[in-house]
A and B are shown apart, each in its own frame.
Chain A
Amino acid sequence: MADGGQGPAPAPVGPSPVGPLVVACLDPADLRQEVDPLTGEVRADWRRADLSASDGAALEHSLRAAEAWGGTVLALAAGPPGLDPVLEQAVALGARALRVPWSDAHSGPAVDAVALAAALAAAISQAGPPALVVCGDRSPSRGIGAVPALIAHHLGAEQALGLVSLTVDQSSQVVIAERRLDGGWRERLRVRAPAVCSVEAAGVRLRRAPFAAALRSSGQPIPVAASQSGVASTGAQLRIGGPRPYRPRTKAVAPPMGGTHDRLLALTGVLVAHDPPRIVGPLGPVEAAGELLDFLDGHGYSPPSGPAQ
């Protein structure tokens, strides 16, 4: 295996660590798993494993944070050796990489999230005290999204989950995080390091590795974290029943009122005056927005007139 000649505690590959440690916790998976419509069996193809959009964003945010702080990135993933090509991508981007061997990391909601988070947190602590841990907020392998919070718990770190933007303050170890609230509001949080954040794939895409780095990292062995003897499985937190046909509850509906003729008229709307659909040809963004606003205005959807514009 990759750690054959490297002594008992394998060092993650990549540049040697300087400055604060930023960990990107990734969950590479087959992004298009096949679900058998009859049996509900999920089939994933390891060779097609890749980063989901939110994991890509997590890695990008980690790289940016490490750049701002002058630190290093550790890309961490739990799973079988089939994941290594995905971690190679992170190495090509200048990160170190480490894989935690984990056999059921991709068994969907049935994964033992507590044990997995403990193993990840142990691997993180082994690599050094982290300043920031960034995860994707959505697991392509149908997890329930509990892992980031549990990692924060294990590390005793602050947590801010489901972020749409994440910037770090260059001079202090503070993370400025933004999160959606109901009604179109956002909240901006100042989170002190060490922190665990999970990010949506909002507004950032993973950068591309330079050719030389991609070439160098391809086929490089990815070190494996020492097995976590202290981590005991507590069993899955969710139990999954067998698949059954969907049987929605019956809903009582009042019998129709009025004669057939009236109901037909009401249903088809033939006697109600309405505007025919209109095609407004390809427009520039400004005109198109104008058209949409006018339409909404004309149909009584104008925004409440208030001081805010």
Chain B
Amino acid sequence: MADTPSPDSFDAIVVGAGPAGSAAALALARAGRSVVIIERGPFPGSKNVYGGVVYARVLDDVIPNWWEQVPVQRWVVRRSTMVMTGSQAVTVDVRTQAWGRPPYNGMTVYRADFDSWLADQAVAAGASLVTSTVATGLVRDGTGRVTGVRTDRPGGDLASRVVIACDGVNSFLAKEAGLLPKADAAHHTLGVKEVLALPAEVIEDRFGLAPGEGLDIEMIGCTRGIPGGGFLYTNRDTVNVGVVVSLTGLAASGVRPEELIADLKEHPAVAPWLRGAAVKEYGAHLIPEGGYDAMPALAADGFLVAGDAAGMTLAAGLWLEGVNFAIGAGLAAGRAAAAAIAQGDVTAAGLAGYRKALEANFVLQDHKRLRGAPQLVLSDRMQRQYVQLICDLAEQVFTVTNPEPKPGLVKLLLRGARRHKVRVRDLVRDGIETAKVFR
């Protein structure tokens, strides 16, 4: 076919048809550049597991009215944050119908559907997509500049002016380029999740939802003291339940990840929601959780990194967002690469527009603002003592102790602090720290 670019040279090669890769290819194709996406799975999304909610406003100006075409499961109108111990739970529940109308806020969606859809958008814009192909390494010239990738297909060495690594967490390309350490357990968490089948009407009844509306719950304190948290998201006729735990904590505890999901499903606050649900899929995936301070350099000569490959998931207790950051970064990387190609300078300096664009938009600004969050949320005090403290405090405030008079809040707080060996000094300091981190 005449419009197929010659296979041995492209303006850009994008590795990985996840949200970052498809967004990057979309931006390049829109700029009129020849671009091929290489994906190792048989279809985009087949290798990807996440929690379940995508915040897609980032697509507003690239795919107008995206909400009319996206393969959505439910629009999230309720967000809860749950602090729990083995037998207690304190929930903060936010509901607004505004999130159920265009332009919407969050949606639940299956990755197999969403990633395929986004890749289709890139292909429709003129990008090529080759699936079932692993990029096994980088091709570099004498100066170390990246000039292409190797793939595991016969005759699979490809040349391009820019390579954009969107190959997700574990990015072997970023590792090969020397941007990421080989293994870094301290800055990664493991997410395991079950997809549980329940009829749509049952989900709507149990979670107080109208058809098409969804709920998103983030939980803390449900991981046997291993730093991490849990989540529950509603799809049309399934519910995602899972936990995210620190790799070092998990390894040291000797607890199996499935046990943590089993615990969560049996928790008295969660079990009634899931009664009678059958497991449809179990999966696992890593999350880069180092935040801003663990992010690698984002560009090298002829080479850009975007999305999870560059550690861009914002995972800090109240948030578990990565897809939106990946799309934001992918779009910026694609545009920067297109501009650099047009300028004829694809060195790291020529590609510097990428980082500038990210610093100017939410991707790096959010990460920078919340740079202290991962450490704070995963800290031992936050994970064990404060969870207990909050649950006990709430329980005692609402326990009617007649004929004793009600104790004062401060007294309860101090009593709880003493019981859980929390020093008031730490409490105050962490309070200030939290205010600073989440300011």
Q: Return the contact of A210 from the options B1, B43, B116, B155 (Cβ within 8 A).
A: B155
Q: Return the contact of B1 from the options A47, A211, A216 (Cβ within 8 A).
A: A216
**A23 to B133 Cα, complex, angstroms:** 27
**A81 to B8 Cα, complex, angstroms:** 30
**A211 to B150 Cα, complex, angstroms:** 10
**A209 to B133 Cα, complex, angstroms:** 10
Interface string of A186-209 (1 = CB under 8 A from B): 000000000000000000000011
- Is B182 in contact with chain A by the CB < 8 A criterion? no
**A37 to B276 Cα, complex, angstroms:** 13
Q: Please name all residues of chain A whose beta carbon is closer than 8 Å to the beta carbon of B169 when the two chains form the complex.
A: none
Q: Please name all residues of chain A whose beta carbon is closer than 8 Å to the beta carbon of B116 when the two chains form the complex.
A: 47
Q: Please name all residues of chain B whose beta carbon is closer than 8 Å to the beta carbon of A211 when the two chains form the complex.
A: 7, 130, 133, 151, 153-156, 158
Q: Cβ of A216 and Cβ of B123 under 8 Å apart?
A: no
Q: Please name all residues of chain A whose beta carbon is closer than 8 Å to the beta carbon of B152 when the two chains form the complex.
A: 208
Q: Cβ of B123 and Cβ of A210 under 8 Å apart?
A: no
Q: Please name all residues of chain B whose beta carbon is closer than 8 Å to the beta carbon of A267 when the two chains form the complex.
A: none
- Is A215 in contact with chain B by the CB < 8 A criterion? yes
Interface string of A219-242 (1 = CB under 8 A from B): 110000000000000000000000
Q: Please name all residues of chain B whose beta carbon is closer than 8 Å to the beta carbon of A208 when the two chains form the complex.
A: 132, 152-154
Number of interface residues of B (CB under 8 A): 22
**A48 to B151 Cα, complex, angstroms:** 23
Interface string of B1-36 (1 = CB under 8 A from A): 100100110000000000000000000000000001
Q: Return the contact of B36 from the options A37, A50, A215, A220 (Cβ within 8 A).
A: A215
CB nearest to A31 among chain B residues? B42
- Is B164 in contact with chain A by the CB < 8 A criterion? no
Q: Cβ of A216 and Cβ of B7 under 8 Å apart?
A: yes
Given contacts A216-B7, A218-B129, A220-B1, contact A48 B154 (CB under 8 A): no
Q: Cβ of A219 and Cβ of B153 under 8 Å apart?
A: no
CB nearest to B4 among chain A residues? A216
**A37 to B197 Cα, complex, angstroms:** 12
Q: Cβ of A210 and Cβ of B154 under 8 Å apart?
A: yes
Q: Please name all residues of chain A whose beta carbon is closer than 8 Å to the beta carbon of B8 when the two chains form the complex.
A: 212
Q: Cβ of A214 and Cβ of B130 under 8 Å apart?
A: yes
Q: Please name all residues of chain A whose beta carbon is closer than 8 Å to the beta carbon of B132 when the two chains form the complex.
A: 208, 214
Q: Please name all residues of chain A whose beta carbon is closer than 8 Å to the beta carbon of B1 when the two chains form the complex.
A: 216, 220
Q: Please name all residues of chain B whose beta carbon is closer than 8 Å to the beta carbon of A212 when the two chains form the complex.
A: 7-8, 155
CB nearest to B116 among chain A residues? A47
Q: Please name all residues of chain A whose beta carbon is closer than 8 Å to the beta carbon of B7 when the two chains form the complex.
A: 211-212, 215-216
Q: Please name all residues of chain B whose beta carbon is closer than 8 Å to the beta carbon of A48 when the two chains form the complex.
A: 43
- Is B324 in contact with chain A by the CB < 8 A criterion? no
**Nearest chain B CB to A247 CB, angstrom units:** 23
- Is B128 in contact with chain A by the CB < 8 A criterion? yes
**Nearest chain B CB to A23 CB, angstrom units:** 24
**A197 to B59 Cα, complex, angstroms:** 51
Q: Please name all residues of chain B whose beta carbon is closer than 8 Å to the beta carbon of A47 when the two chains form the complex.
A: 43, 116
**A220 to B128 Cα, complex, angstroms:** 12
B145-166 at interface with A (beta carbon < 8 Å): 151-156, 158
Given contacts A50-B42, A215-B36, A216-B7, contact A210 B153 (CB under 8 A): yes
**A212 to B129 Cα, complex, angstroms:** 12
Q: Please name all residues of chain B whose beta carbon is closer than 8 Å to the beta carbon of A220 when the two chains form the complex.
A: 1
Q: Cβ of A215 and Cβ of B154 under 8 Å apart?
A: no
CB nearest to A219 among chain B residues? B123
**Nearest chain B CB to A170 CB, angstrom units:** 24
Q: Please name all residues of chain A whose beta carbon is closer than 8 Å to the beta carbon of B42 when the two chains form the complex.
A: 50
**Nearest chain A CB to B91 CB, angstrom units:** 33
A36-63 at interface with B (beta carbon < 8 Å): 37, 47-48, 50
Q: Cβ of A209 and Cβ of B153 under 8 Å apart?
A: yes
**Nearest chain B CB to A91 CB, angstrom units:** 12
**A206 to B22 Cα, complex, angstroms:** 28
Q: Cβ of B156 and Cβ of A215 under 8 Å apart?
A: no
Q: Return the contact of B133 from the options A37, A214, A219 (Cβ within 8 A).
A: A214
CB nearest to A37 among chain B residues? B278
**A208 to B153 Cα, complex, angstroms:** 7
**A50 to B41 Cα, complex, angstroms:** 13
Q: Cβ of B153 and Cβ of A214 under 8 Å apart?
A: yes
Q: Please name all residues of chain B whose beta carbon is closer than 8 Å to the beta carbon of A219 when the two chains form the complex.
A: 123, 128
**A182 to B399 Cα, complex, angstroms:** 75
**A50 to B1 Cα, complex, angstroms:** 24
**Nearest chain B CB to A218 CB, angstrom units:** 6
Q: Cβ of A215 and Cβ of B130 under 8 Å apart?
A: yes
**Nearest chain A CB to B8 CB, angstrom units:** 7
Given contacts A47-B43, A47-B116, A48-B43, contact A215 B4 (CB under 8 A): yes
**A205 to B354 Cα, complex, angstroms:** 43
**A208 to B43 Cα, complex, angstroms:** 16
Q: Return the contact of B128 from the options A50, A209, A210, A218 (Cβ within 8 A).
A: A218
**A219 to B36 Cα, complex, angstroms:** 13
**A218 to B127 Cα, complex, angstroms:** 11
**Nearest chain A CB to B36 CB, angstrom units:** 7
CB nearest to B154 among chain A residues? A210
**Nearest chain A CB to B372 CB, angstrom units:** 42
CB nearest to B10 among chain A residues? A215
**Nearest chain B CB to A88 CB, angstrom units:** 10
Q: Please name all residues of chain B whose beta carbon is closer than 8 Å to the beta carbon of A37 when the two chains form the complex.
A: 278
Q: Cβ of B130 and Cβ of A210 under 8 Å apart?
A: no
- Give 12 A-B contacts (CB < 8 Å), ordered by A residue: A50-B42, A208-B154, A209-B154, A210-B153, A210-B155, A211-B7, A214-B130, A214-B133, A214-B153, A215-B4, A216-B1, A219-B128
Q: Which 4 A-B pairs have the closest CB atoms?
A: A212-B7, A210-B155, A211-B153, A211-B156
Footprint of B on A, CB under 8 Å?
37, 47-48, 50, 208-212, 214-216, 218-220
Contacts A209-B153, A218-B130 known; list 20 others, CB within 8 Å: A47-B43, A48-B43, A209-B154, A210-B154, A211-B7, A211-B130, A211-B133, A211-B151, A211-B153, A211-B156, A211-B158, A212-B8, A214-B133, A215-B7, A215-B128, A215-B130, A216-B4, A216-B7, A219-B123, A219-B128
